[in-house]
């Protein structure tokens, strides 16, 4: 029984012709091409994620700002007080009107409506009642809100747009009408 098996096994193994080379792996050129393709794909993915990630950060900032404006409007109605929103180039804050001293007071200690910084690389623009407003570089000594959020539920009509620094296409846009309705547009919709 064992005598026929050794010759059968030998017959199944292909024999190489004399002088031919059998390849046992990839050539250096093939490996370099694969590494180059992986590098190009990785670089493209990193660039896409970096730009998209920054826009997502601005979109998230737009969502947060719209939610805070809605909260301030609700607080104005519930408390029967006049609130204001003040925007400068790199930050924003909410203020409340005190009729007795006839002053706007900062909400420094308010967990939700306290002053906030805009992320680096974000450029805001503000249009009030159809007029472009120049956004100041920093806050004045006494608060001067551009947007009023009234206890009646009304607010100053405005459009606040957030751009990535150096870009002309907006990443987020918040609009309000005189009766206090807020709308948020993100990404490509923000340009409309």
Q: Is residue 156 part of a domain?
A: yes
Contact 184, 177 (CB under 8 A): no
Q: Is residue 13 part of a domain?
A: no
Residue 1 has pLDDT above 80, yes or no: no
Residue 146 has pLDDT above 90, yes or no: yes
CA distance 177 to 48: 36
Considering all CA atoms of the chain, what is the largest pairwise distance in Å, rounded to the nearest integer? 115
Q: Is residue 145 part of a domain?
A: yes
Q: Is residue 14 part of a domain?
A: no
Contact 127, 91 (CB under 8 A): no
CA distance 187 to 171: 5
Q: What is the pLDDT of residue 111?
A: 80
Q: What is the pLDDT of residue 65?
A: 92
> What is this structure's pTM?
0.70
Q: Parallel, antiparallel, or unpaired: how do β-strands 158-164 and 170-176 relate?
A: antiparallel
Residue 6 vs residues 10, 15, 79, 103, 180: alpha-carbon distances, Å? 6, 16, 98, 105, 92
Residue 150 has pLDDT above 80, yes or no: yes
Q: Is residue 110 part of a domain?
A: yes
Q: Is residue 22 part of a domain?
A: no
Contact 54, 60 (CB under 8 A): no
Parent domain of 153: 30-191
Q: Is residue 15 part of a domain?
A: no
Q: pLDDT (tens digit, 9 = 90+) per residue, 17-66?
A: 555 566 677 788 878 777 888 877 877 776 655 555 556 788 888 899 99
| Strand ranges (E), 37-169 | 83-87, 91-98, 103-106, 116-117, 122-128, 131-133, 147-149, 158-164
First to last CA, the chain: 86
For the chain, how many structural domains are there in total? Answer: 1
Q: Is residue 107 part of a domain?
A: yes
CATH code for position 147: 3.55.40.10
Q: pLDDT (tens digit, 9 = 90+) per residue, 75-113?
A: 999 999 999 999 999 999 999 999 888 899 988 777 888
């Amino acid at each position: 029984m064992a005598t026929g098996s050794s010759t059968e096994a030998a017959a199944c193994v292909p024999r190489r012709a004399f002088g031919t080379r059998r390849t046992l792996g990839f050539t250096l050129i093939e490996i370099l091409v694969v590494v180059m393709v992986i590098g190009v794909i990785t670089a493209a993915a990193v660039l896409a994620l970096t730009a998209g990630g920054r826009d997502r950060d601005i979109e998230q900032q737009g969502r947060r700002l719209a939610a805070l404006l809605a909260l301030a409007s609700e607080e104005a109605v519930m408390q029967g007080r006049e609130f204001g929103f003040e925007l400068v180039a790199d930050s924003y804050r909410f203020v409340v009107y005190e009729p007795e001293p006839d002053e706007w007071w900062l909400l420094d200690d308010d967990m939700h409506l306290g002053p906030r910084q805009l992320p680096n690389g974000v450029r805001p623009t503000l249009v009030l009642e159809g007029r472009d407003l120049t956004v100041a570089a920093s806050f004045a000594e006494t608060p001067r809100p551009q947007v009023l959020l009234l206890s009646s539920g009304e607010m100053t009509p405005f459009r606040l747009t957030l751009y990535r620094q150096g870009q002309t296409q907006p990443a987020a846009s918040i609009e309000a009408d005189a009766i206090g309705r807020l709308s948020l547009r993100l990404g490509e919709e923000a340009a409309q």
